């Protein structure tokens, strides 16, 4: 079902214009039901490659494909009308060459109808960001803790904890800005570095586990709603939807087993023959 409304969808330039004016609020979504609920409340919705973990039960984000990301992006775009939608480029879809990145980013945007892609990487990926931006694809960069690098990092660890690593992350963010990225996600870094990067850049920084110093925040929606098996320390749980689901399903199973559900009000009437 498509959504018809006179409210205009937030654009990439409008997100950029928030810098220094007001904080940007964002969450992830990968399906229509959640996207529809969160759409009017947020500036952008990220169809993150964390979909691999929260929707498919993978241990990390590496196993999701371009076609899956495009399909989840399409579900989110189709069921929203207000928030800008950004879709993650999955592992292996952009690292090899700018040309491959363009083909996959174009596929994701044309199938999903999203406004922009996000990709993880340091300075080595800046030329790819420039290649995409110069060809009409808005790019949100992602530096610091980059979950697609879980195997080289040896786990999900906070980054930038010594001077050398902090300087590298600052240089990564600067390189993406110079390449034309419209925003940068800062994940898993300490407040002084997040503040330094946010002050150094003219484009918005979006934090996840990166302190309130950032220009905006994003979280995985399942972590915020109490639907994740294990949420990271930096995520705040605002509701226990997991508990509500367990309670509702236990009540349903109990009523089915005791013959309480369905009752007359849930049954079709039988037409009496004359």
- Interface residues with ligand KIV (CB under 6 A) are 28, 46, 48-50, 61, 88, 185, 187, 208, 218, 220
Minimum distance from CB of 267 to ligand KIV (Å)?
Answer: 43
Nearer to ligand KIV, 10 or 217 (CB): 217
* Cβ closest to ligand KIV, residue 2 vs residue 64: 64
| Nearest alpha carbon to residue 209 among 223, 227, 191 | 191
Q: How far apart are CA 138 and CA 157, in angstroms?
A: 28
Nearest approach in angstroms of CB 250 to ligand KIV is 30
Catalytic residue list contains 222: no
Token pair in block for residue 116: 């922009």
Distance CA 1, CA 29 (A): 17
Query: Least distance in Å: CB of 268 to ligand KIV?
Result: 43
* Tokens representing residue 21 in the block: 């004016």
- Short-list 147, 150, 192, CA closest to 170: 192
Q: Which residue in the list 120, 177, 187, 222 is annotated as catalytic?
A: 187
- For residue 215, the minimal CB distance to ligand KIV (Å) is 14
Nearer to ligand KIV, 177 or 223 (CB): 223
Residue carrying structure tokens 């009437």: 269
257-262-263-264 Cα dihedral, nearest 10 degrees: -150
* Minimum distance from residue 210 beta carbon to ligand KIV (Å): 10
* Beta carbon nearer to ligand KIV, 43 or 88: 88
Q: How far is Cα 185 from Cα 218, in angstroms, rounded to an integer?
A: 9
Phi, psi values for residue 156, rounded to 5°: -90, 100
Q: Shortest approach of ligand KIV to residue 262 CB, angstroms?
A: 39
Nearer to ligand KIV, 81 or 235 (CB): 235
Q: Which residues contact 180 (CB under 8 A, 6 or more apart)?
A: 129, 130, 133, 134, 139
Q: Which is nearer to ligand KIV, 181 or 208 (CB)?
A: 208
Q: Annotated catalytic sites, by residue?
A: 187
């Amino acid at each position: 079902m498509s959504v018809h409304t006179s409210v205009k969808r937030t654009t990439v330039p409008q997100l950029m214009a928030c810098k220094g004016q007001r904080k940007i609020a964002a969450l992830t979504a990968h399906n229509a039901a959640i996207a529809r609920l969160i759409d009017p409340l947020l500036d952008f919705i990220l169809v993150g490659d964390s979909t691999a973990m929260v929707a498919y039960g993978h241990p990390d984000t590496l196993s999701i494909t371009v076609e899956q990301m495009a399909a989840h992006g399409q579900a989110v775009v189709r069921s929203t009308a207000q928030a800008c939608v950004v879709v993650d480029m999955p592992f292996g879809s952009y690292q090899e060459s700018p040309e491959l990145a363009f083909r996959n980013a174009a596929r994701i945007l044309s199938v999903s109808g999203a406004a922009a892609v996000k990709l993880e990487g340091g300075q080595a990926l800046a030329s790819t960001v420039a290649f995409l931006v110069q060809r009409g694809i808005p790019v949100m960069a992602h530096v610091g803790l980059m979950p697609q690098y879980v195997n080289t990092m040896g786990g999900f660890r906070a980054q930038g904890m010594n001077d050398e690593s902090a300087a590298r992350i600052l240089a990564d963010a600067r390189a993406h800005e110079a390449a034309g990225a419209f925003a940068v996600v800062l994940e898993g870094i300490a407040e002084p570095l997040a503040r330094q990067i946010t002050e150094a850049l003219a484009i918005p920084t979006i934090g996840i586990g990166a302190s309130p110093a950032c220009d905006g925040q994003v979280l995985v929606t399942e972590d915020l709603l109490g639907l994740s098996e294990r949420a990271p320390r930096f995520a705040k749980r605002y509701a226990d939807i997991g508990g509500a689901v367990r309670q509702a399903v236990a009540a349903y199973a109990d009523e089915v087993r005791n013959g309480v559900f369905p009752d007359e009000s849930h049954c079709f009437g039988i037409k009496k023959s004359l």
